[in-house]
Amino acid sequence: MIKLFLKLLTLFIFSSNLLTAQNIDIELLREINIERNTDLDKPMQLLSNSSAFIEIGFPLGIIGAGFIKKDLFLKIKGAETAASFLVSVGIVQILKYSIRRDRPFITYPEIQKLSDGGGFSFPSGHTAPAFALATSLSLNFKKWYVVVPSFVWASAVGYSRLHLGVHYPTDILASAIIGTGTGFITHHANKWIQNRIIRKKINQYLYDL
């Protein structure tokens, strides 16, 4: 009996926390979307719509620059950035169809939908790749004029999805974590692969002596 009571109490506390979190989530979205500055609607739509071109264009541009300059390391950095984008997109799609969270404008009709928002809400297919790109660029080109603009842009993409009413704040927060984590993991995986290749070549060289 005591065990059952403790289980029910735990479930109640957990459910209450979820309800509180959901209430905070939608109230914050209402403030951003319903009480928004409508003069920013077009810029936010443009920012949101152009994010995919930037997320794809930057890695291709870096790889292209590597070929033009015949710089192997630049090619590798471009390939790593492209990989972080692809991995983040894959994770987003898996989570979307596993969690299947409805878009906010479906559950809350007062939320104004100002952009395309097909499929499920969690996580954001715009925000996660944006943070993956920002993280990858920051780790490969460690200059303040790369790091700061990259994360400002990624944050702006995330905010635009709230302004346009197609995501909850928790969607954006989780997507930022996913994208940043993807960028870090891809970067360190790339370094590990490079180190293994270098060690293999060194061992082969020593063997041939």
- Between CA 138 and CA 179 the distance in angstroms is 13
Q: What is the DSSP string of 109-160?
A: TTSPP-S---S--SS-TTHHHHHHHHHHHHHHS--HHHHHHHHHHHHHHHHH
**For residue 5, is pLDDT > 50?**
no
Q: What tens digit of pLDDT does each residue of 175-206 get? A: 999 999 999 999 888 888 776 666 665 555 54
**Structure confidence by residue, pLDDT tens digits, 66-111:** 999 988 888 888 998 999 999 999 999 999 999 888 899 888 889 8
Whole-number average pLDDT of the chain: 83
Output the pLDDT for position 24: 81
Query: What is the sign of the dihedral through the CA atoms of 94, 97, 99 and 102?
Result: positive
The candidate with the shortest Cα–Cα distance to 161, out of 92, 98, 99, is 92
Going along the chain from its start, the domains and CATH numbers come out as: 2-208 (1.20.144)
